[in-house]
A and B are shown apart, each in its own frame.
Chain A
């Protein structure tokens, strides 16, 4: 016999509740449109079962996944990285520009990583050296990203207008890509998506099975203790934030690629950096959890696009709202027991 509170506390149960709630919310939204809810829910079900939906969800989740993994490194070292949004947006612009001028998506990916790292450096100087509030600096950096990408985009592309940059081609695997359902859902993606997925186990290994990972986490948990045993807290944090910037910058490249047309537009990231930040927290500060968190948003995003394409008679504005509402619900349910690194958000001062 399991009592109710224990039952509710099980993560499996919690996930089920969230999915049910999400569907309920969708139902409510659909109800607003004065449509027969049942036929629309049938529509949703048939969308959910298509392999294209899973494919779209994975594509939509990849930029968030990269950003979340970047945020995770920084967060575990004790530096809140709410500037993920700026790294993503600048990464996206730089990836697009470099791919366009270099004629190669790899050039874009590399440039995005470097650009993200530079933003990480500014973030690190402000939060680690100057010891400014990590939240406030991130807010400023996000405004900076919005302004600088809008300006540069205008200067560089005002004459040419809309152009599509070279992007990553979808891979085809022998046999696997031709599998029914799974072929389309999982084996026809571009290389960037597989690399991003590969990064999850890599990061898990580095963070939990290597001494550098232990060092990083100890700096985030108790910088004073880490410092006492001879760890250079400041250096570890600098490295963490720079790495975080590089990975989050690459998420911009994935974002450009996820646009489907390999193009950039003003404010392309549209708050996804913050959703990635949220995913880190409700993914309980580990790479696998972060992945699940971003998948949730990817599903919402894909569902929203599919529903529009399906021709459901619901105002598209409400559909666009869907991913944010889903994240909001996840936030409510997952935040309660999420415990981050103890020293997260506090600057370290050796002299104290």
Chain B
């Protein structure tokens, strides 16, 4: 009986307790990836391509050598940052689909600060630009959170609307107010001041200090989620808002905080794109990163360290897809399909129904 009530309290949202195995949080995504790769292979065969050839090209293009690996890791940085934010927000039941808009806001703030004021000394300037992105992302995320609390607007819809608003805002800014001078027709912003660029970690590769920021964020999010009362509050609110209120937790406050924090990470991702390697803001500079990051977080089951691996996997697919298209002549969009299949597999495998069946099987095992 007590087990029944427990199950009722836990909504089937969180793929949390998986088979009670310590390795399950990594094992499950891995298994799903394998399944997705196999299904992907079947699709390739059906389309008349050689899957082994395709996958080896994919591997070569993503982790084949130092340059390619550094490209992949560079691509993983914004995915990881946004993914962490999304994982954190989803844990508290705040469905933040707005990483795209928050990232755009962050990038916009970064370019506005880093592209002007050359009199500020370099390192300070870099930090200020990063902070501006951090704050801008957070504020952009606060809008849907406040709307939810004060007018009951569904945060999923408002974050999506704000994504489009953010995208068009950047389009407008780079073709107007912050457009580079001269007669160039291409909608491009002015470049950042040279010494605000993130220093490279390894010379002649794409690796920049944004990786350190992302990895630090990963550790911090892990720590907050698992070892602080704030993290516990976030999870309790995510599991049951009403129960949380009865326990004296201010659910609205947690909701606002989760949204703000999640937005700041997406804002940082925007800064990493601009200050890390793009040097200037262009229209559509990262059109899918914010959405891909949702997939990254879903695949990882919202566990910070697994988010890191999942971001690396997604980034590998993204950079490898180019090589796959060039060498094996497969359409690059095929890898998108592989990713989505992996997510669907992980969702199915961590669903309450399957967990129930697994528990039942485990229970029977014990009786034996």
Decide if B168 is an interface residue (CB 8 Å cutoff). Answer: yes
With a cutoff of 8 Å between Cβ atoms, the chain A residues found around residue B339 in the complex are: 143, 147
Question: For A203, what are the chain B residues with a Cβ–Cβ distance below 8 Å?
Answer: none
Cβ A315 vs Cβ B294 within 8 A = no
Residues 122-148 of A at the B interface (beta carbon under 8 Å): 126, 129-133, 135-137, 139-140, 143-144, 146-148
B164 and A332 contact, CB distance less than 8 A: no
* Any A CB within 8 A of the CB of B8: yes
Expressed in whole angstroms, the Cα–Cα distance for A333 and B291 within the complex equals 27
CA A147 to CA B158, docked complex, whole Å? 23
Q: Which B residues lie at the A interface, using CB under 8 A?
A: 4, 7-8, 11-13, 47, 90, 95, 97, 147, 151-154, 156-158, 160-165, 168-169, 171-172, 175-176, 291, 294-295, 298, 331, 333-334, 336-337, 339-340, 343-344, 347-348, 351-354
The chain A residue with its CB closest to the CB of B338 is A147
Cβ-neighbour of B353 out of A129, A278, A333 (below 8 A) = A129
- Say yes or no: B168 contacts A154, CB within 8 Å: no
Q: Is the CB of B331 within 8 A of A155?
A: yes
* Chain A residues near B12 (CB-CB < 8 A): 131-133, 347
Q: Which of A40-48, A110-118, A250-258, A320-328 contacts B (4 or more CB under 8 A)?
A: A320-328
In the complex, 26 of the A-B residue pairs with CB atoms within 8 angstroms, ordered by the A residue number, are A126-B347, A126-B351, A131-B352, A132-B12, A133-B11, A136-B90, A140-B340, A143-B291, A143-B294, A143-B339, A147-B336, A147-B337, A150-B333, A150-B336, A151-B337, A274-B157, A274-B160, A274-B161, A277-B157, A278-B154, A317-B175, A318-B168, A320-B171, A327-B157, A331-B157, A346-B11
| Cross-chain contact of B153 among A148, A154, A335 (Cβ < 8 A) | A335
Chain B residues whose C-beta falls within 8 Å of the C-beta of A350 in the assembled complex: none
Contact B158 A331, beta carbon cutoff 8 Å: yes
User: Which B residues lie within 8 Å of A155 (CB)?
Assistant: 47, 331
Are the CB atoms of A274 and B351 closer together than 8 Å?
no
Asked if B165 and A325 sit within 8 Å, CB to CB, the answer is yes
**Interface mask (A276-308 → B, CB under 8 Å = 1, otherwise 0):** 011001000000000000000000000000000
Question: Chain B residues with Cβ under 8 A from A151's Cβ?
Answer: 331, 333-334, 336-337
A138: nearest chain-B partner, CB-CB: B156
Partner of A143 from the list B4, B160, B340, B353 (CB cut-off 8 Å) is: B340
Check A51 for interface membership: any CB of B closer than 8 A.
Answer: no
Bound Cα distance from A132 to B348, whole angstroms: 7
Whether the Cβ atoms of B168 and A320 lie closer than 8 Å is yes
B164 engages A321 (CB within 8 Å): yes
Q: Check B343–A324 contact: CB distance below 8 A.
A: no
A318 B337 Cβ-Cβ under 8 A? no
In the A-B complex, the 9 residue pairs with the smallest Cβ-Cβ separation, listed nearest first, are A147-B336, A130-B351, A151-B333, A317-B172, A317-B171, A321-B168, A133-B13, A144-B340, A335-B153
B156 touches A140 (CB 8 A): no
Q: How far apart are the CA atoms of A274 and B157 in the complex, in Å? A: 6
Shortest Cβ distance from B47 into chain A, in angstroms? Answer: 7
Q: A271-B161, A335-B153 are in contact. Are A140 and B298 (CB under 8 A)?
A: yes
Contact A278 B340 (CB under 8 A): no
A332→B151 contact, CB < 8 A: yes
Determine the distance from Cα of A324 to Cα of B172 in the docked complex, in whole angstroms. 15
Contact in complex: A317, B168 (CB < 8 Å): yes
Bound together, the chains give a CA A333 to CA B47 distance in angstroms of 50
Measured between beta carbons, the chain A residues less than 8 angstroms from B171 are: 317, 320
Q: How far is the CB of A119 from chain B (nearest CB, A)?
A: 12
With contact pairs A131-B351, A317-B175 given, residues A148 and B157 touching in the complex (Cβ less than 8 Å): no
Residues of A within 8 A of B348 (CB): 126, 130, 132
Residues of B near A335 (CB, < 8 A) are 151-154
The distance in angstroms between the C-alpha atoms of A216 and B245, with both chains bound, is: 32
**Is the Cβ of B343 less than 8 Å from the Cβ of A140?**
yes
Q: Mark A40-67, 1 if CB is under 8 A from B, else 0.
A: 0000000000000000000000000000
Which residues on the B side are within 8 Å of A146 (C-beta)?
291, 336
Using A140-B295, A352-B8 as known contacts, list a sample of 10 further A-B pairs with CB atoms less than 8 Å apart, ordered by residue number in A: A131-B352, A135-B13, A147-B336, A148-B340, A151-B333, A154-B331, A278-B154, A331-B147, A332-B151, A347-B12
Chain B positions within 8 Å of A324 at CB level: 161, 164-165, 168
A45 to B298, CA, bound (A): 47
B163: nearest residue on chain A (CB-CB)? A271
- Cα–Cα, bound, A274→B347 (Å): 22
Are A271 and B353 in contact (CB-based, < 8 A)? no
Assembly CA distance A317 to B283 (angstroms): 11
A320 to B340, CA, bound (A): 29
Question: Taking the nearest CB of chain A, how far is it from the CB of B286, in angstroms?
Answer: 15
Among B47, B340, B352, the most chain A Cβ lie within 10 Å of the Cβ of B340
- Please judge, given known A-B contacts A140-B344, A155-B47, whether A328 and B161 are in contact too, CB under 8 Å: yes
A21 within 8 A of B: no
A147–B353 Cα distance when bound, in Å, is: 27
CB–CB A332/B295 < 8 A? no
Q: Which residues of A contact B156 (CB under 8 A)?
A: 82, 135, 274
